[in-house]
Every structure is written in C-alpha cells, then in structure tokens.
Amino acid sequence: MRILLIILRKEFLQIFRNKIMIPIIFVMPFVQTLVLVYAATFELQNTNITIVDLDHSQMSRKLGSKFDASPFFDVEFEQCDYDNIDKMLLTESTKAVLIIPHDFENDMRMGIKTQLQLNINAIDGQTAGLISIYVNQTILSLLKELKPFMNKTDLSVMPASIHAKPQFWYNATLNFKHYMLPGILTILISMIGIFLTSLNLVREKEMGTIEQINVTPIKKWQFLSGKLIPFWLIGLFDLALGLFIGVVLFDLPIEGSIFSLFVFSGLYLFTAIGLGLLISDFADTQQQTMFTIFFFFLIFMLMGGIFTSVESMPIWAQYVNKINPLYYFIKIIRAILLKGSGIQDMMNEFFALLAYGIIAMSVAVWQYRKTS
C-alpha cells in the first residue's frame, strides 16, 4: 500500500507536468462538447435550394415565399434552362433545384394533376432524404392554405388520409444535442481510458525507465495499479466536467440517478483501461500504440451507435457490437440521461460490461511483462 501511494504520487506528478496531458484533461471536454455537438448534427439548416419558376403566377410566387420563409432553406430564384440546372448541381452552388412548371397555377385551379420537379444532389444520401422530406412538407403546407379557395373537384388532389400524430418520448422536442451529447461524452471517456492509459504504459517501455523500476522491490500489481488508477479517476472527473458543460450550456436533462451513471461509467472505464493495457502489452513504441488504438477505436465508435442507429445495421454488425464495449456504454448513458433508467433496468448491459472488463483486465494483466 505504501509503495502504491509512492507510485501514484509519482504518476500524478508526471501527468500534471506533461505539457499535453493538462490540455487533454481540462480542454478536451470543452472542445468536444462545444464543437462536436454542433458539428455532428443531422438537422437541416440554411440549405441552398434554387427555385426555377417557369409559371410566374401568384401561386408559384406564394410557393417561393414559403420556401424563403423557412429556416431550413436559403432560396435563390433563377431563370434558366435544364443545362444550367445540371451545372449548378455539379458545381455545388446549390443542393437542390425545384422547378415550378408552366401552368402550375392554372392546373391547380382547374383541378388537373400537376407535377413539380425536384433535383437533389444525393451524394450525401441522408441529407438528400431530409431535403426531399422538408421540400414536400413545405409544399403540403401551401396546399393546406389553398384548400378553401379550391373548388370541389380539387379535393381529389388531397385524398382523405389517416393522420398519425407522433408523440416523441424521452426527447420530446427532438433536440438533437441531447441525443449527441451523451455520445460525445462516451468518446471523451474512451479516449482517456484507452489512449492515455496505453500511451502512459508504453512510454515507460520506450524511455527505458521500466528497466530501473524492475530492479526495485515494486511488484507487478503495485506498478500496474499505480499506472491505471490515475486514468480511472481522470476519466470520471472528465465525465463530471462534460456533464456539467452539458447541463449548463445545452440544458442536458439528467433523468436518471447520477449515482447509476457513475457506477456504469466506472465500470466502463475499467473495461476501457483493461483494453488500453492489453494493447500496450503488445506495443513497444507510442507510435505503434497510437495506430493500433486508432484502428480499433474507429470501429468501436462508428459501430457503437453514436451517430447511427445500431438497430438499422446489418445483423452481423449487430453481433459484432456484442464485443464492442462502447456500444453498451452509449446505450447505458443515453438511457440514464434521457430515459431515467436505473441499474436494475440495464442488468444485461451491466453484466456484459462487467464480464468484458474482467476478461480484458485479466488477460491484459496476465500478458503484461515488465520487460522492455
């Protein structure tokens, strides 16, 4: 115990003296939450759309002003032919082109079925889908306004339909930030758990300092505990800092208990640190460590469900996620923060992480050799 305290003191001394470590610990939570939460958004805002009005009627202008008033679109009105439309999409000067045909107003009034043409740059399929939906909704809202002015035959344009009114639970306002922020926090904690732990351990090998440690009476468990505990504590500290930023700046709801959140986070950090140690067992230099972790971390992150829904991934990917610790943690942290779940609601995830942590840590400690 005495020796462990001596090592811990030395580790903290080195961590706080490291020029890079301090910014990582204190600045990274701010940067990640402030920048990433805004950047990693799927909401459509100020999308460039070009409207080619061939009708020049009252109704077509009304439709144009509908788009103009929408916060989702930045509208450009153009008079041009099809070749130019192609060019505009190619040069990315606009994301979508909506063409209002001749006789638009006339057809509408006569009750003749009319068609608008919408060309969307669909390189980013997700955004293209959203643009299509938003454009349709904008047009529909115009039709609703026009309804009273139309004669009976026009009713065929708007067939009777079952109207389902959705009610969004757990994130009633569909606030994207409340969904992203917990995900960003998991990245933050993983980076500390896996990257920093691993780099710190490999550094002893790379600098050769392990050789001097090895001729002292320091035992393996003392050395490893001294190396790992600081990052466990720093990880929890950064989680608290990230939550604080989320609550103050983004109004992040904390529906569940902070206690459950920290129990799970402590467990997840244990797993992450175990993985960090495991990777450091097989790496000789910090460079090797970085590349190895980067490889795994990218897969964990993209598959874990931070940005995309795991349920819409192929079945094999969902099975792969069973060995992705980040997957469990993302699920847990969102459930606690947004749904108010407790430990008892997530026993499966709890035991999965526990087993994962114990296995990763045991293998890592067993594989660990103090030799350089």
For other proteins, the closer CB: 41 or 214 = 214
Rounded Cα–Cα distance for residues 47 and 39 (Å): 15
User: Measured from the CB of residue 284, what is the shortest distance to other proteins in angstroms?
Assistant: 14
User: Measured from the CB of residue 201, what is the shortest distance to other proteins in angstroms?
Assistant: 14
Cα–Cα separations (whole angstroms), residue 268 to 29, 189, 265, 271, 329: 18, 9, 5, 5, 7
User: Measured from the CB of residue 209, what is the shortest distance to other proteins in angstroms?
Assistant: 5
For other proteins, the closer CB: 21 or 363 = 21
User: Measured from the CB of residue 216, what is the shortest distance to other proteins in angstroms?
Assistant: 5
Binding site for other proteins (CB under 8 A): 2-3, 6, 10, 13-14, 17-18, 207-212, 214-218, 371
User: Measured from the CB of residue 208, what is the shortest distance to other proteins in angstroms?
Assistant: 5
For other proteins, the closer CB: 3 or 143 = 3
Q: What is the DSSP letter of 47?
A: E
For other proteins, the closer CB: 173 or 212 = 212
For other proteins, the closer CB: 222 or 280 = 222
Count how many Cα atoms sit within 13 Å of the Cα of residue 27 in the half-sphere of its side chain: 6
Largest Cα–Cα distance in the chain?
Answer: 95
Angle at 84 between CA 81 and CA 88, to 5 degrees: 140
For other proteins, the closer CB: 210 or 283 = 210
Instruction: Find all residues with CB under 8 Å of 75, minimum gap 6, and list them.
Output: 49, 50, 51, 64, 67, 68
Rounded Cα–Cα distance for residues 194 and 294 (Å): 10
For other proteins, the closer CB: 148 or 217 = 217
Rounded Cα–Cα distance for residues 138 and 113 (Å): 18
Helix axes of 325-334 and 258-282: crossing angle, nearest 10 degrees: 170
Of 96, 98, 99, whose CA–CA distance to 124 is shortest?
A: 96
Q: Residue written as tokens 């153009």?
A: 78
User: Measured from the CB of residue 10, what is the shortest distance to other proteins in angstroms?
Assistant: 5
For other proteins, the closer CB: 209 or 362 = 209
Angle at 42 between CA 39 and CA 43, to 5 degrees: 100
User: Measured from the CB of residue 211, what is the shortest distance to other proteins in angstroms?
Assistant: 5
User: Measured from the CB of residue 237, what is the shortest distance to other proteins in angstroms?
Assistant: 21
